[in-house]
């Protein structure tokens, strides 16, 4: 652009041209930003069209309260077994990932040296970067036999001799080929970085003056970390939890491969049995429908969009929630 710095008249003439040209560029990139709105609109339109057509055939009440998901054999579309499957994986993977992720975040933010952090942070990110299909394969082929070696374990809640139904003793039976436990373990591993990185951002954002104040009062590092830094960053930590749970709900390949395709209502009261047996999540049901071309465009095919709509609504609510919580914590300092 060396020719721009000509005489005054030339640059004056050029300025109108430059303005027009710049306006064109500005519009182009504004259009690409606007495209992201179109993506959201597209998702909503794509899902709602077929989902509504599905719900006009199968009443939403029957869909959301039915306890039997058997689209092909019984022509029955109750989504509760799928929600139960999703919940089982979500809860148990959260039990693994939330404490571990928070502990990792505290370590990285408060304790780790710069060298340790520069190695551990990318290493943790890799956990989220491994393709989920590989996680599913590892769960199916390696994690299940590994855990199964320790099973069954029976926990005697009630002293022996008391006459009680066998269901009321907590027993962890041997694992089936497809089981929720191995799926939960790998999903738990894969969402650790989600918790740790967002929580660490929140912990690092706590101003140093708070820590110094704590030390000044004679607190140990343990006290400062657990009683000052973590409580100050609560909202960021909560946001990370919500996002991680939302990710676990939407996880597809690992649960499809490791947990199987048999929708189940949860077992009570021996909840551990849920872990040992196969069930099906919302996402796995969608993959199953998509994988079988024979469903054409009948209600089963449209049920896939109804499931997608349900999933989209759940994750959208959780993401908005996390964003709101995070907003609050940003404003604090």
Partner 1 sequence: MATEDSTGDQLGRSAALRLQQLKGQLFEVALVAATLVGIVSLLVLFAYISVDAFRPGTASPAWFLVYLGTLVAPTAAFTLYARRRPAVRTANAVAFAAVFGGLLLSAVTYAVVDALSPYDVFIYGVFASLPPMLVLAYDRTTEGQAYTGPLILVSILVGIGVAAVVDGPISGPLGIAAEWIMYFGLVTVPAALLVGTLTASRRGRRTGAVAGGAVAAGGLAVAGASIATGANASLLVVLFSAFVVPTGYVVRRSVRTNPAGRVGLAGPFVLLGGALLGAALVERFGIETPDTFLTPTLVLESWDGLTASNAGVYPQIVGSIIIVGFMAVLAFPVGIGAAIYLEEYAPNSGFRGRLATLLEVNISNLAGVPSVVYGLLGLALFRRTLGFGTGIVVSASGTLGLLILPIVIVSTQEALRSVPDDLRQGSYGMGASRWQTLREVVLPEAIPGTLTGTILALARAIGETAPLVIIAVATTTYSPPSGLFSSATALPLQIFAASANAKPEFRHGVVPAAAVVLLTLMLLMNATAIVIRNKYGRET
Give whichever of 162 and 293 is closer to partner 1, judged by the CB atom. Answer: 293
- Which residue, 138 or 273, is less far from partner 1 as judged by CB? 138
* DSSP letter string, 118-177: HHHHHHHHHHHHS-HHHHHHHIIIIIHHHHHTT--EEE--S-TTS---GGGSEEEPPP-S
- Output the six-digit token pair for 286: 């969608």
Shortest Cβ 174–partner 1 spacing (Å): 18
Considering the complex, state which of residue 10 and residue 269 has its C-beta at the smaller distance from partner 1.
10
Q: Tell me if 189 sits within 8 A of 248, measured CB to CB.
A: no
Shortest spacing between CB 67 and partner 1, in angstroms: 23
Return the DSSP state at 269.
S
Q: Which is it for the CA torsion 136, 142, 146, 149, positive or negative?
A: positive
CB 182 within 8 A of CB 145: no
Residue 70 β-bridge partners: 76
Asked if 184 and 96 count as a contact pair (C-beta separation under 8 A), the reply is yes
Question: Closer CB to partner 1, residue 175 or residue 318?
Answer: 318
Report, in Å, the least distance between residue 83 CB and partner 1. Answer: 15
Distances (CA, A) of 143 to 10, 138, 183, 209: 73, 6, 9, 45
DSSP state of 77: E
Residue 65 CB, nearest approach to partner 1 (Å): 23
CB of 21 to partner 1, least distance (A): 6
Closest CB to partner 1 among 270 and 286?
286
Q: Residue 46 or 171: which CB sits closer to partner 1?
A: 46
Q: How far is the CB of 270 from partner 1 (least distance, A)?
A: 27
Alpha helices in 217-298 (DSSP H): 221-223, 230-232, 234-250, 253-259, 272-276, 282-291
Closest contact distance (angstroms) between CB of 158 and partner 1 is 33
Closest CA relative to residue 315, chosen from 252, 236, 271, 253: 252
Closer to partner 1 at the Cβ: 111 or 268? 111
């Amino acid at each position: 652009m060396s020719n721009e710095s000509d005489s005054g008249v030339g640059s004056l003439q050029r300025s109108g041209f430059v303005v027009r040209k710049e306006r064109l560029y500005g519009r182009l990139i504004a259009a690409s930003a606007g495209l992201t709105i179109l993506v959201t609109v597209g998702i909503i339109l794509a899902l709602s069209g077929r989902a509504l057509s599905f719900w006009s055939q199968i009443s939403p009440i029957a869909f959301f309260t039915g306890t039997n998901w058997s689209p092909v054999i019984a022509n029955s579309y109750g989504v509760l077994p799928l929600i139960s499957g999703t919940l089982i994986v979500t809860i148990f993977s959260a039990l693994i990932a939330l404490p571990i992720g928070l502990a990792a975040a505290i370590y990285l933010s408060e304790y780790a040296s710069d060298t340790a952090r520069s190695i551990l942070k990318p290493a943790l990110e890799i956990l989220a970067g491994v393709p989920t299909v590989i996680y599913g394969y590892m769960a199916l082929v390696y994690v299940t036999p590994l855990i199964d070696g320790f099973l069954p374990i029976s926990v005697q809640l009630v002293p022996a001799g008391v006459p009680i139904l066998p269901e009321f003793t907590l027993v962890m039976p041997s694992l089936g080929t497809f089981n929720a436990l191995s799926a939960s373990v790998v999903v738990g591993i894969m969402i650790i970085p989600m918790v740790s990185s967002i929580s660490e951002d929140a912990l690092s954002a706590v101003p140093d003056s708070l820590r110094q104040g704590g030390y000044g009062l004679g607190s140990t590092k343990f006290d400062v970390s657990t009683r000052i830094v973590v409580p100050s960053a609560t909202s960021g930590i909560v946001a990370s939890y919500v996002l991680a749970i939302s990710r676990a709900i939407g996880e597809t390949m690992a649960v499809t491969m490791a947990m199987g395709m048999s929708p189940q209502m949860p077992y009570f009261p021996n909840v551990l049995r849920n872990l040992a047996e196969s069930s099906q999540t919302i996402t796995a049901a969608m993959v199953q429908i998509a994988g079988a071309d024979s469903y054409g465009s009948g209600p089963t095919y449209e049920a896939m969009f109804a499931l997608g709509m349900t999933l989209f609504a759940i994750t959208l609510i959780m993401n908005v929630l996390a964003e709101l919580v995070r907003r609050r914590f940003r404003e604090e300092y």
